[in-house]
Chain A
Amino acid sequence: MSVSMPHALSVWWRNASMYRRTWKANLLPNFFEPVFYLAGIGIGVGAYIQEMGGTSYARFLAPGLVCVAAMNGASFEATYNVFVRLTWEKTYDAMLTTPVEPDDVLLGELLWALTRACIYGGAFFLVLMAFGLAPLPIALAALPAIPLAGLLFSAIGIAFTLRVTKIDFLSFYFTLFLTPLFLFSDVFFPIDERLSGGWLWVAEALPLVHPVRFARSAFAGQFGWQMLWDVAYVLVVSTLLLAFARRTIRRRLTA
Protein backbone atom coordinates (compact mmCIF):
# COMPACT_ATOMS: atom_id res chain seq x y z
CA MET A 1 0.00 0.00 0.00
CA SER A 2 1.43 3.35 -0.95
CA VAL A 3 0.24 6.90 -0.94
CA SER A 4 -1.02 8.52 -4.15
CA MET A 5 -1.07 12.31 -4.24
CA PRO A 6 -3.87 12.55 -6.87
CA HIS A 7 -6.09 10.34 -4.75
CA ALA A 8 -5.19 12.24 -1.57
CA LEU A 9 -6.11 15.44 -3.39
CA SER A 10 -9.47 13.93 -4.31
CA VAL A 11 -10.12 13.55 -0.56
CA TRP A 12 -9.04 17.17 -0.06
CA TRP A 13 -11.32 18.25 -2.93
CA ARG A 14 -14.27 16.41 -1.41
CA ASN A 15 -13.88 18.29 1.86
CA ALA A 16 -13.29 21.59 0.10
CA SER A 17 -16.47 21.10 -1.97
CA MET A 18 -18.46 20.58 1.19
CA TYR A 19 -16.78 23.49 2.95
CA ARG A 20 -17.72 25.85 0.12
CA ARG A 21 -21.34 25.26 1.11
CA THR A 22 -20.89 25.52 4.86
CA TRP A 23 -17.99 27.94 5.37
CA LYS A 24 -20.03 30.71 6.97
CA ALA A 25 -21.27 28.48 9.78
CA ASN A 26 -17.85 26.88 10.21
CA LEU A 27 -15.50 29.81 9.80
CA LEU A 28 -17.04 32.33 12.11
CA PRO A 29 -16.87 30.62 15.53
CA ASN A 30 -13.28 29.44 15.22
CA PHE A 31 -12.12 32.66 13.65
CA PHE A 32 -13.69 34.97 16.20
CA GLU A 33 -12.37 33.20 19.27
CA PRO A 34 -8.82 34.60 18.99
CA VAL A 35 -10.23 37.93 17.80
CA PHE A 36 -12.20 38.20 21.04
CA TYR A 37 -9.12 37.27 23.08
CA LEU A 38 -7.16 39.95 21.28
CA ALA A 39 -9.86 42.53 21.93
CA GLY A 40 -10.73 41.48 25.49
CA ILE A 41 -7.31 40.67 26.90
CA GLY A 42 -4.95 42.47 24.55
CA ILE A 43 -6.75 45.77 24.41
CA GLY A 44 -8.78 45.51 27.65
CA VAL A 45 -6.34 43.95 30.14
CA GLY A 46 -3.47 45.37 28.11
CA ALA A 47 -4.50 48.88 29.18
CA TYR A 48 -3.33 47.98 32.71
CA ILE A 49 -0.04 46.42 31.61
CA GLN A 50 2.75 48.81 30.71
CA GLU A 51 4.63 46.40 28.53
CA MET A 52 5.40 42.70 28.14
CA GLY A 53 8.39 41.16 26.38
CA GLY A 54 9.58 44.63 25.49
CA THR A 55 6.39 45.70 23.66
CA SER A 56 2.74 46.59 24.28
CA TYR A 57 0.61 43.72 25.58
CA ALA A 58 -1.58 43.67 22.45
CA ARG A 59 1.54 43.42 20.28
CA PHE A 60 2.89 40.70 22.58
CA LEU A 61 -0.30 38.67 22.19
CA ALA A 62 -0.59 39.08 18.42
CA PRO A 63 1.89 36.45 17.14
CA GLY A 64 0.75 33.86 19.66
CA LEU A 65 -2.89 34.33 18.73
CA VAL A 66 -2.07 33.85 15.03
CA CYS A 67 -0.83 30.39 15.98
CA VAL A 68 -3.86 29.78 18.20
CA ALA A 69 -6.14 30.60 15.26
CA ALA A 70 -4.27 28.08 13.12
CA MET A 71 -4.37 25.54 15.95
CA ASN A 72 -8.15 25.94 16.29
CA GLY A 73 -8.74 25.59 12.57
CA ALA A 74 -6.70 22.41 12.35
CA SER A 75 -7.98 20.93 15.58
CA PHE A 76 -11.71 21.13 14.87
CA GLU A 77 -11.19 19.64 11.45
CA ALA A 78 -8.82 16.90 12.60
CA THR A 79 -10.99 15.83 15.53
CA TYR A 80 -14.75 16.29 15.23
CA ASN A 81 -14.98 16.29 11.46
CA VAL A 82 -12.64 13.33 11.02
CA PHE A 83 -14.51 11.43 13.73
CA VAL A 84 -17.88 12.03 12.07
CA ARG A 85 -16.58 10.98 8.65
CA LEU A 86 -14.88 7.91 10.12
CA THR A 87 -17.58 6.66 12.48
CA TRP A 88 -20.99 8.14 11.73
CA GLU A 89 -21.09 9.06 8.07
CA LYS A 90 -18.87 6.14 6.96
CA THR A 91 -17.35 8.48 4.39
CA TYR A 92 -14.06 6.61 4.33
CA ASP A 93 -15.80 3.27 3.77
CA ALA A 94 -17.30 4.77 0.63
CA MET A 95 -13.95 6.23 -0.46
CA LEU A 96 -12.37 2.81 -0.07
CA THR A 97 -14.71 1.38 -2.71
CA THR A 98 -12.75 3.53 -5.17
CA PRO A 99 -8.99 3.42 -5.83
CA VAL A 100 -8.48 5.62 -2.74
CA GLU A 101 -6.41 3.83 -0.06
CA PRO A 102 -6.25 4.51 3.70
CA ASP A 103 -2.91 6.30 3.25
CA ASP A 104 -4.55 8.63 0.73
CA VAL A 105 -7.38 9.33 3.17
CA LEU A 106 -4.86 10.22 5.86
CA LEU A 107 -2.85 12.52 3.60
CA GLY A 108 -6.00 14.11 2.17
CA GLU A 109 -7.39 14.82 5.62
CA LEU A 110 -4.04 16.18 6.79
CA LEU A 111 -3.86 18.53 3.81
CA TRP A 112 -7.43 19.68 4.39
CA ALA A 113 -6.90 20.33 8.10
CA LEU A 114 -3.73 22.21 7.16
CA THR A 115 -5.73 24.23 4.65
CA ARG A 116 -8.24 25.21 7.29
CA ALA A 117 -5.43 26.17 9.65
CA CYS A 118 -4.07 28.45 6.94
CA ILE A 119 -7.51 29.98 6.33
CA TYR A 120 -7.99 30.81 10.03
CA GLY A 121 -4.40 31.82 10.70
CA GLY A 122 -4.25 33.87 7.50
CA ALA A 123 -7.55 35.64 8.21
CA PHE A 124 -6.39 36.48 11.73
CA PHE A 125 -3.10 37.79 10.37
CA LEU A 126 -5.09 40.15 8.13
CA VAL A 127 -6.97 41.39 11.20
CA LEU A 128 -3.64 42.09 12.93
CA MET A 129 -2.46 44.03 9.89
CA ALA A 130 -5.69 46.03 9.87
CA PHE A 131 -5.20 46.94 13.55
CA GLY A 132 -1.52 47.78 13.00
CA LEU A 133 -0.41 44.96 15.29
CA ALA A 134 1.74 43.21 12.67
CA PRO A 135 4.91 45.20 11.96
CA LEU A 136 5.36 45.08 8.20
CA PRO A 137 7.18 43.85 6.30
CA ILE A 138 9.12 41.96 8.99
CA ALA A 139 6.01 40.24 10.38
CA LEU A 140 5.53 38.49 7.04
CA ALA A 141 8.41 36.25 8.10
CA ALA A 142 6.05 34.86 10.75
CA LEU A 143 3.67 33.46 8.14
CA PRO A 144 5.34 30.00 8.05
CA ALA A 145 4.27 29.64 11.71
CA ILE A 146 0.68 29.20 10.44
CA PRO A 147 1.28 26.03 8.39
CA LEU A 148 3.69 24.82 11.08
CA ALA A 149 1.01 25.08 13.75
CA GLY A 150 -1.50 23.65 11.28
CA LEU A 151 0.67 20.64 10.49
CA LEU A 152 1.43 19.91 14.12
CA PHE A 153 -2.13 20.16 15.39
CA SER A 154 -3.54 18.32 12.39
CA ALA A 155 -1.19 15.45 13.12
CA ILE A 156 -1.95 15.46 16.85
CA GLY A 157 -5.70 15.72 16.26
CA ILE A 158 -5.89 12.97 13.65
CA ALA A 159 -3.64 10.61 15.64
CA PHE A 160 -5.84 11.12 18.72
CA THR A 161 -9.17 10.89 16.87
CA LEU A 162 -8.27 7.65 15.14
CA ARG A 163 -7.78 6.05 18.55
CA VAL A 164 -11.07 7.09 20.15
CA THR A 165 -14.33 5.19 19.80
CA LYS A 166 -16.71 7.76 21.27
CA ILE A 167 -17.07 11.40 20.33
CA ASP A 168 -17.27 12.35 24.04
CA PHE A 169 -13.53 11.72 24.34
CA LEU A 170 -12.90 14.65 22.03
CA SER A 171 -14.13 17.09 24.66
CA PHE A 172 -11.30 15.81 26.91
CA TYR A 173 -8.90 16.61 24.09
CA PHE A 174 -10.10 20.18 24.01
CA THR A 175 -10.47 20.83 27.73
CA LEU A 176 -7.53 18.86 29.10
CA PHE A 177 -5.06 19.27 26.26
CA LEU A 178 -5.70 22.27 24.03
CA THR A 179 -6.91 24.66 26.74
CA PRO A 180 -3.82 24.22 28.98
CA LEU A 181 -1.63 24.55 25.91
CA PHE A 182 -3.40 27.74 25.00
CA LEU A 183 -2.81 29.16 28.49
CA PHE A 184 0.76 27.99 29.14
CA SER A 185 2.52 28.10 25.79
CA ASP A 186 4.05 31.59 25.64
CA VAL A 187 0.85 33.11 24.24
CA PHE A 188 -0.21 35.21 27.26
CA PHE A 189 3.09 35.61 29.07
CA PRO A 190 6.77 34.91 28.28
CA ILE A 191 7.34 31.47 29.77
CA ASP A 192 11.10 31.88 30.00
CA GLU A 193 10.53 34.82 32.41
CA ARG A 194 8.03 32.95 34.59
CA LEU A 195 9.48 29.45 34.58
CA SER A 196 12.88 28.13 35.55
CA GLY A 197 14.85 24.91 35.85
CA GLY A 198 12.98 21.70 35.01
CA TRP A 199 9.76 23.57 34.20
CA LEU A 200 11.47 25.18 31.23
CA TRP A 201 12.14 21.68 29.86
CA VAL A 202 8.52 20.77 30.43
CA ALA A 203 7.45 23.90 28.57
CA GLU A 204 9.85 23.04 25.76
CA ALA A 205 7.97 19.79 25.21
CA LEU A 206 4.62 21.58 24.73
CA PRO A 207 3.72 21.65 21.05
CA LEU A 208 2.17 25.11 20.81
CA VAL A 209 5.31 26.74 22.26
CA HIS A 210 7.28 26.18 19.08
CA PRO A 211 5.12 27.85 16.43
CA VAL A 212 4.35 30.67 18.89
CA ARG A 213 8.04 31.30 19.58
CA PHE A 214 8.78 31.14 15.85
CA ALA A 215 6.10 33.74 15.12
CA ARG A 216 7.17 35.95 18.03
CA SER A 217 10.81 35.90 16.94
CA ALA A 218 9.76 36.83 13.39
CA PHE A 219 7.53 39.69 14.62
CA ALA A 220 10.49 41.00 16.63
CA GLY A 221 12.93 40.51 13.76
CA GLN A 222 15.08 38.28 15.94
CA PHE A 223 16.10 35.48 13.66
CA GLY A 224 18.27 32.76 15.19
CA TRP A 225 19.01 29.08 15.56
CA GLN A 226 16.10 28.67 17.93
CA MET A 227 13.71 29.18 15.01
CA LEU A 228 15.33 26.22 13.26
CA TRP A 229 14.87 24.14 16.41
CA ASP A 230 11.21 25.13 16.51
CA VAL A 231 10.74 24.06 12.88
CA ALA A 232 12.62 20.81 13.51
CA TYR A 233 10.45 20.06 16.55
CA VAL A 234 7.26 20.51 14.53
CA LEU A 235 8.47 18.38 11.63
CA VAL A 236 9.81 15.54 13.77
CA VAL A 237 6.81 15.33 16.11
CA SER A 238 4.36 15.57 13.19
CA THR A 239 6.18 12.83 11.30
CA LEU A 240 6.14 10.50 14.30
CA LEU A 241 2.44 11.11 14.95
CA LEU A 242 1.53 10.61 11.31
CA ALA A 243 3.42 7.31 11.20
CA PHE A 244 1.36 6.24 14.21
CA ALA A 245 -1.85 7.52 12.58
CA ARG A 246 -1.03 5.64 9.39
CA ARG A 247 -0.89 2.34 11.23
CA THR A 248 -4.14 3.10 13.02
CA ILE A 249 -6.13 4.19 9.98
CA ARG A 250 -5.04 1.11 8.05
CA ARG A 251 -6.21 -1.09 10.88
CA ARG A 252 -9.53 0.75 11.32
CA LEU A 253 -10.45 0.91 7.67
CA THR A 254 -9.19 -2.43 6.38
CA ALA A 255 -9.85 -4.94 9.15
Chain B
Amino acid sequence: MSAAEPAKEPTIRARGVHKHFGARHAVRALDLDVPQGVCFGLLGPNGAGKTTALRMVYGVTRPTAGTVEVFGIDVARSPRKVRARLGVTLQDNVQIEALSPRDNLKIFARHHLLTGTARERRVEELLDFLELRSHADVPVVALSGGYRRRLAIAMSLIHDPELLVLDEPTTGLDPAVRLALWARVRELRARGRTVLLTTHYMDEAERLCDRVLILCEGRAICEGAPRALIAERLAREALELDCTPEEEARWLADESWKRLRSGRRLVVYGDSVAPLVARLRAQDGGDGRPLVVRPANLEDVFLAATGTSLGGDA
Protein backbone atom coordinates (compact mmCIF):
# COMPACT_ATOMS: atom_id res chain seq x y z
CA MET B 1 0.00 0.00 0.00
CA SER B 2 1.42 3.41 -0.91
CA ALA B 3 1.76 6.11 1.75
CA ALA B 4 -0.88 8.24 0.02
CA GLU B 5 -3.45 5.43 -0.12
CA PRO B 6 -5.90 5.64 2.79
CA ALA B 7 -6.19 2.52 4.93
CA LYS B 8 -9.35 0.57 4.10
CA GLU B 9 -11.89 0.20 6.89
CA PRO B 10 -12.03 -3.46 7.95
CA THR B 11 -15.21 -5.18 6.84
CA ILE B 12 -15.58 -6.68 10.33
CA ARG B 13 -14.29 -5.10 13.52
CA ALA B 14 -14.98 -6.66 16.93
CA ARG B 15 -13.71 -5.21 20.17
CA GLY B 16 -13.78 -6.80 23.61
CA VAL B 17 -16.58 -9.19 22.70
CA HIS B 18 -17.85 -11.57 25.35
CA LYS B 19 -20.79 -13.94 25.10
CA HIS B 20 -22.19 -15.88 28.05
CA PHE B 21 -24.98 -18.44 27.90
CA GLY B 22 -25.86 -18.63 31.58
CA ALA B 23 -22.70 -19.79 33.33
CA ARG B 24 -21.07 -20.91 30.08
CA HIS B 25 -18.60 -18.49 28.55
CA ALA B 26 -18.81 -19.10 24.79
CA VAL B 27 -16.63 -16.19 23.65
CA ARG B 28 -14.14 -14.26 25.79
CA ALA B 29 -12.54 -10.89 25.07
CA LEU B 30 -12.52 -11.36 21.31
CA ASP B 31 -10.90 -8.67 19.17
CA LEU B 32 -11.19 -9.23 15.46
CA ASP B 33 -10.33 -7.25 12.33
CA VAL B 34 -11.26 -8.76 9.01
CA PRO B 35 -9.90 -6.60 6.21
CA GLN B 36 -11.93 -5.98 3.10
CA GLY B 37 -11.43 -8.44 0.24
CA VAL B 38 -9.69 -11.21 2.16
CA CYS B 39 -10.66 -14.75 3.06
CA PHE B 40 -10.48 -15.03 6.83
CA GLY B 41 -10.71 -18.32 8.70
CA LEU B 42 -11.96 -18.94 12.23
CA LEU B 43 -10.51 -22.23 13.38
CA GLY B 44 -10.92 -24.29 16.49
CA PRO B 45 -12.40 -27.48 17.86
CA ASN B 46 -16.13 -28.02 18.37
CA GLY B 47 -17.36 -25.77 21.15
CA ALA B 48 -14.52 -23.28 20.63
CA GLY B 49 -17.00 -20.45 20.00
CA LYS B 50 -16.67 -20.22 16.22
CA THR B 51 -20.36 -20.41 15.41
CA THR B 52 -21.25 -18.03 18.26
CA ALA B 53 -18.71 -15.57 16.89
CA LEU B 54 -20.23 -15.89 13.41
CA ARG B 55 -23.76 -15.40 14.78
CA MET B 56 -22.62 -12.18 16.42
CA VAL B 57 -21.21 -11.02 13.10
CA TYR B 58 -24.57 -11.38 11.36
CA GLY B 59 -26.51 -10.11 14.33
CA VAL B 60 -28.51 -13.13 15.45
CA THR B 61 -26.65 -13.43 18.72
CA ARG B 62 -26.06 -10.30 20.78
CA PRO B 63 -22.75 -9.93 22.59
CA THR B 64 -22.96 -9.89 26.38
CA ALA B 65 -20.25 -7.20 26.26
CA GLY B 66 -18.24 -5.46 23.56
CA THR B 67 -19.15 -4.33 20.05
CA VAL B 68 -19.22 -5.91 16.63
CA GLU B 69 -19.21 -3.61 13.60
CA VAL B 70 -19.71 -4.84 10.06
CA PHE B 71 -19.29 -2.33 7.21
CA GLY B 72 -18.84 0.24 10.00
CA ILE B 73 -22.37 -0.48 11.31
CA ASP B 74 -23.00 -1.66 14.87
CA VAL B 75 -24.61 -5.05 14.24
CA ALA B 76 -26.51 -5.11 17.55
CA ARG B 77 -28.23 -1.82 16.66
CA SER B 78 -28.94 -2.42 12.97
CA PRO B 79 -28.89 -6.13 12.18
CA ARG B 80 -31.29 -5.74 9.26
CA LYS B 81 -29.02 -3.20 7.55
CA VAL B 82 -25.99 -5.42 8.00
CA ARG B 83 -27.72 -8.60 6.81
CA ALA B 84 -28.88 -6.82 3.65
CA ARG B 85 -25.21 -6.65 2.66
CA LEU B 86 -23.91 -10.05 3.75
CA GLY B 87 -24.75 -13.65 2.94
CA VAL B 88 -24.56 -16.60 5.31
CA THR B 89 -24.24 -20.31 4.60
CA LEU B 90 -25.24 -22.19 7.73
CA GLN B 91 -23.74 -25.52 8.80
CA ASP B 92 -26.99 -27.30 7.95
CA ASN B 93 -28.62 -27.02 4.54
CA VAL B 94 -31.99 -25.38 5.19
CA GLN B 95 -33.99 -25.82 2.01
CA ILE B 96 -37.53 -26.72 1.00
CA GLU B 97 -37.12 -30.31 -0.08
CA ALA B 98 -40.31 -30.50 -2.11
CA LEU B 99 -39.16 -27.61 -4.31
CA SER B 100 -36.38 -27.31 -6.87
CA PRO B 101 -33.13 -25.35 -6.49
CA ARG B 102 -34.58 -22.71 -8.81
CA ASP B 103 -37.67 -22.29 -6.60
CA ASN B 104 -35.59 -22.27 -3.41
CA LEU B 105 -33.43 -19.51 -4.85
CA LYS B 106 -36.50 -17.49 -5.80
CA ILE B 107 -37.91 -17.84 -2.31
CA PHE B 108 -34.67 -16.75 -0.71
CA ALA B 109 -34.52 -13.81 -3.11
CA ARG B 110 -37.88 -12.67 -1.71
CA HIS B 111 -36.39 -12.43 1.78
CA HIS B 112 -33.98 -9.89 0.28
CA LEU B 113 -36.91 -8.15 -1.46
CA LEU B 114 -35.46 -9.10 -4.82
CA THR B 115 -38.24 -9.50 -7.39
CA GLY B 116 -38.98 -9.39 -11.11
CA THR B 117 -36.30 -9.55 -13.76
CA ALA B 118 -33.48 -8.73 -11.31
CA ARG B 119 -34.39 -11.85 -9.36
CA GLU B 120 -34.73 -14.03 -12.47
CA ARG B 121 -31.38 -12.84 -13.80
CA ARG B 122 -29.60 -13.46 -10.49
CA VAL B 123 -31.10 -16.95 -10.16
CA GLU B 124 -29.85 -17.86 -13.63
CA GLU B 125 -26.38 -16.46 -12.86
CA LEU B 126 -26.12 -18.51 -9.71
CA LEU B 127 -27.31 -21.72 -11.35
CA ASP B 128 -24.33 -21.33 -13.67
CA PHE B 129 -21.86 -20.10 -11.05
CA LEU B 130 -22.47 -23.05 -8.71
CA GLU B 131 -22.92 -25.49 -11.61
CA LEU B 132 -26.49 -26.29 -10.60
CA ARG B 133 -28.14 -25.88 -13.98
CA SER B 134 -28.35 -29.61 -14.73
CA HIS B 135 -30.35 -30.04 -11.49
CA ALA B 136 -32.14 -26.70 -11.46
CA ASP B 137 -35.63 -28.18 -11.64
CA VAL B 138 -35.13 -31.38 -9.68
CA PRO B 139 -36.74 -31.46 -6.21
CA VAL B 140 -34.10 -30.83 -3.54
CA VAL B 141 -35.04 -34.11 -1.84
CA ALA B 142 -33.53 -35.94 -4.83
CA LEU B 143 -30.21 -34.05 -4.77
CA SER B 144 -26.90 -35.37 -3.43
CA GLY B 145 -25.18 -33.70 -0.47
CA GLY B 146 -22.80 -31.93 -2.82
CA TYR B 147 -25.58 -30.35 -4.86
CA ARG B 148 -27.45 -29.35 -1.71
CA ARG B 149 -24.32 -27.63 -0.43
CA ARG B 150 -23.89 -25.81 -3.73
CA LEU B 151 -27.49 -24.68 -3.46
CA ALA B 152 -26.93 -23.49 0.12
CA ILE B 153 -24.03 -21.34 -1.03
CA ALA B 154 -26.01 -20.10 -4.03
CA MET B 155 -28.84 -19.07 -1.69
CA SER B 156 -26.44 -17.04 0.43
CA LEU B 157 -25.18 -15.27 -2.71
CA ILE B 158 -28.61 -14.42 -4.10
CA HIS B 159 -28.30 -10.69 -3.35
CA ASP B 160 -24.64 -10.45 -4.41
CA PRO B 161 -23.37 -9.73 -0.88
CA GLU B 162 -20.18 -7.85 -0.06
CA LEU B 163 -19.36 -10.30 2.74
CA LEU B 164 -19.92 -14.04 2.63
CA VAL B 165 -20.02 -15.96 5.91
CA LEU B 166 -19.50 -19.72 5.54
CA ASP B 167 -20.00 -21.95 8.56
CA GLU B 168 -18.13 -25.20 7.85
CA PRO B 169 -18.92 -25.07 4.15
CA THR B 170 -17.40 -28.37 3.07
CA THR B 171 -17.98 -30.68 6.04
CA GLY B 172 -18.99 -34.12 4.82
CA LEU B 173 -18.38 -33.42 1.14
CA ASP B 174 -16.28 -35.53 -1.20
CA PRO B 175 -12.92 -34.12 -2.36
CA ALA B 176 -14.14 -33.22 -5.84
CA VAL B 177 -17.01 -31.10 -4.49
CA ARG B 178 -14.68 -29.50 -1.93
CA LEU B 179 -12.29 -28.48 -4.70
CA ALA B 180 -15.15 -27.08 -6.77
CA LEU B 181 -16.43 -25.03 -3.84
CA TRP B 182 -12.95 -23.78 -2.99
CA ALA B 183 -12.61 -22.58 -6.59
CA ARG B 184 -15.85 -20.62 -6.20
CA VAL B 185 -14.69 -19.05 -2.94
CA ARG B 186 -11.43 -17.98 -4.57
CA GLU B 187 -13.37 -16.50 -7.46
CA LEU B 188 -15.52 -14.48 -5.08
CA ARG B 189 -12.48 -13.21 -3.24
CA ALA B 190 -10.91 -12.25 -6.59
CA ARG B 191 -14.02 -10.18 -7.27
CA GLY B 192 -13.34 -8.23 -4.10
CA ARG B 193 -15.78 -10.00 -1.79
CA THR B 194 -14.76 -10.61 1.80
CA VAL B 195 -15.13 -14.18 3.03
CA LEU B 196 -15.32 -15.25 6.67
CA LEU B 197 -15.37 -18.99 7.19
CA THR B 198 -15.11 -21.58 9.90
CA THR B 199 -13.70 -25.00 9.20
CA HIS B 200 -12.35 -28.10 10.83
CA TYR B 201 -10.16 -28.84 7.84
CA MET B 202 -6.72 -27.38 8.24
CA ASP B 203 -5.83 -27.98 4.61
CA GLU B 204 -8.92 -26.00 3.66
CA ALA B 205 -7.85 -23.10 5.86
CA GLU B 206 -4.28 -23.16 4.58
CA ARG B 207 -5.34 -23.23 0.95
CA LEU B 208 -8.20 -20.75 1.09
CA CYS B 209 -7.50 -18.27 3.86
CA ASP B 210 -5.33 -15.19 3.72
CA ARG B 211 -5.51 -14.96 7.51
CA VAL B 212 -6.73 -17.26 10.25
CA LEU B 213 -7.62 -16.89 13.90
CA ILE B 214 -7.51 -19.91 16.18
CA LEU B 215 -10.11 -19.99 18.92
CA CYS B 216 -10.07 -22.31 21.91
CA GLU B 217 -12.65 -22.23 24.71
CA GLY B 218 -13.86 -18.88 23.41
CA ARG B 219 -10.44 -17.23 23.44
CA ALA B 220 -8.36 -16.12 20.47
CA ILE B 221 -5.07 -17.95 20.74
CA CYS B 222 -3.23 -16.65 17.71
CA GLU B 223 -3.88 -14.87 14.44
CA GLY B 224 -2.01 -14.36 11.21
CA ALA B 225 -1.37 -15.65 7.71
CA PRO B 226 -1.23 -19.47 7.82
CA ARG B 227 2.35 -19.90 6.60
CA ALA B 228 3.59 -17.01 8.74
CA LEU B 229 1.92 -18.49 11.82
CA ILE B 230 3.54 -21.84 11.19
CA ALA B 231 6.96 -20.25 10.62
CA GLU B 232 6.66 -17.97 13.66
CA ARG B 233 5.35 -20.49 16.11
CA LEU B 234 6.97 -23.70 14.86
CA ALA B 235 9.19 -24.42 11.86
CA ARG B 236 8.89 -25.57 8.27
CA GLU B 237 9.02 -29.32 8.84
CA ALA B 238 7.63 -31.83 11.31
CA LEU B 239 8.99 -35.25 12.15
CA GLU B 240 6.49 -37.71 13.68
CA LEU B 241 7.41 -40.92 15.42
CA ASP B 242 6.32 -43.19 18.25
CA CYS B 243 8.73 -43.34 21.17
CA THR B 244 8.85 -43.36 24.96
CA PRO B 245 9.75 -40.25 26.99
CA GLU B 246 12.99 -42.01 27.96
CA GLU B 247 13.93 -42.49 24.30
CA GLU B 248 13.04 -38.87 23.62
CA ALA B 249 15.27 -37.72 26.47
CA ARG B 250 18.12 -39.85 25.17
CA TRP B 251 17.83 -38.82 21.53
CA LEU B 252 17.11 -35.13 21.94
CA ALA B 253 19.03 -34.34 25.12
CA ASP B 254 20.50 -30.86 25.27
CA GLU B 255 18.91 -29.83 21.99
CA SER B 256 16.40 -27.05 21.41
CA TRP B 257 14.05 -28.81 18.96
CA LYS B 258 10.47 -27.67 19.40
CA ARG B 259 8.44 -30.74 20.15
CA LEU B 260 4.97 -31.96 21.16
CA ARG B 261 3.99 -35.23 22.73
CA SER B 262 0.58 -36.94 22.72
CA GLY B 263 0.81 -40.36 24.38
CA ARG B 264 3.51 -42.28 22.53
CA ARG B 265 3.35 -39.96 19.55
CA LEU B 266 6.14 -37.37 19.39
CA VAL B 267 6.29 -34.55 16.84
CA VAL B 268 9.56 -32.66 16.46
CA TYR B 269 9.70 -29.41 14.47
CA GLY B 270 12.62 -27.92 12.59
CA ASP B 271 13.37 -25.98 9.43
CA SER B 272 15.14 -29.10 8.20
CA VAL B 273 14.68 -32.36 10.07
CA ALA B 274 16.84 -34.48 7.72
CA PRO B 275 19.93 -34.43 10.03
CA LEU B 276 17.71 -35.48 12.92
CA VAL B 277 16.25 -38.36 10.89
CA ALA B 278 19.76 -39.54 10.04
CA ARG B 279 20.81 -39.35 13.68
CA LEU B 280 17.71 -41.25 14.87
CA ARG B 281 18.28 -43.96 12.31
CA ALA B 282 21.85 -44.29 13.57
CA GLN B 283 20.80 -44.36 17.23
CA ASP B 284 17.63 -46.45 17.16
CA GLY B 285 19.54 -49.69 16.96
CA GLY B 286 18.26 -50.41 13.47
CA ASP B 287 14.69 -51.14 14.59
CA GLY B 288 13.43 -49.27 11.52
CA ARG B 289 10.55 -47.66 13.36
CA PRO B 290 8.27 -45.61 11.07
CA LEU B 291 9.21 -41.94 10.81
CA VAL B 292 6.96 -39.43 9.05
CA VAL B 293 8.44 -36.22 7.72
CA ARG B 294 5.91 -33.66 6.51
CA PRO B 295 5.46 -29.91 6.27
CA ALA B 296 4.34 -28.38 9.56
CA ASN B 297 0.70 -27.25 9.37
CA LEU B 298 -1.96 -25.30 11.21
CA GLU B 299 -2.96 -28.30 13.25
CA ASP B 300 0.57 -28.32 14.63
CA VAL B 301 0.22 -24.64 15.47
CA PHE B 302 -2.99 -25.37 17.30
CA LEU B 303 -1.46 -28.29 19.16
CA ALA B 304 1.52 -26.18 20.11
CA ALA B 305 -0.69 -23.40 21.40
CA THR B 306 -3.22 -25.49 23.28
CA GLY B 307 -2.19 -29.07 23.51
CA THR B 308 -5.65 -29.97 22.23
CA SER B 309 -6.33 -31.87 19.04
CA LEU B 310 -8.36 -29.92 16.51
CA GLY B 311 -10.27 -33.04 15.70
CA GLY B 312 -11.40 -33.61 19.27
CA ASP B 313 -14.71 -32.51 20.71
CA ALA B 314 -14.20 -29.81 23.29
Contact = CB atoms under 8 A, between A and B. Distances in A.
A99 B94 contact: no
A91 B61 CA distance: 17
Interface in B66-97: 79-81, 83-84, 87-88, 90, 92, 94, 96
A33 interface: no
Interface in A70-95: 89-91, 93-95
Given A13-B107, A17-B103, A98 B94 contact: no
A96 B87 CA distance: 11
B108 A98 contact: yes
B107 A17 contact: yes
B90 A97 contact: yes
The majority secondary structure among interface residues of chain B is mixed
Chain B interface residue number, banded: 20 to 34
A56 interface: no
Interface string B156-175: 10000000010000000000
Interface residues of A, number: 27
Interface stretch (B110-118, B232-240, B302-310): B110-118
Contacts of B81: 99
Interface string B39-74: 000000000000000000010111000000000000
A90 B90 CA distance: 10
A163 interface: no
Given A99-B80, A253-B60, A22 B98 contact: yes
A99 B84 contact: yes
B92 A7 contact: no
Contacts of B155: 94
B63 to A, nearest CB: 12
B107, B110, B165 pick with most chain A CB within 10 angstroms: B110
Contact of B94 (A4, A7, A90, A101): A90
A89 B61 CA distance: 19
Contacts of A7: 111, 113
Interface of A: 1, 4, 6-7, 10-11, 13-14, 17-18, 21-22, 89-91, 93-101, 253-255
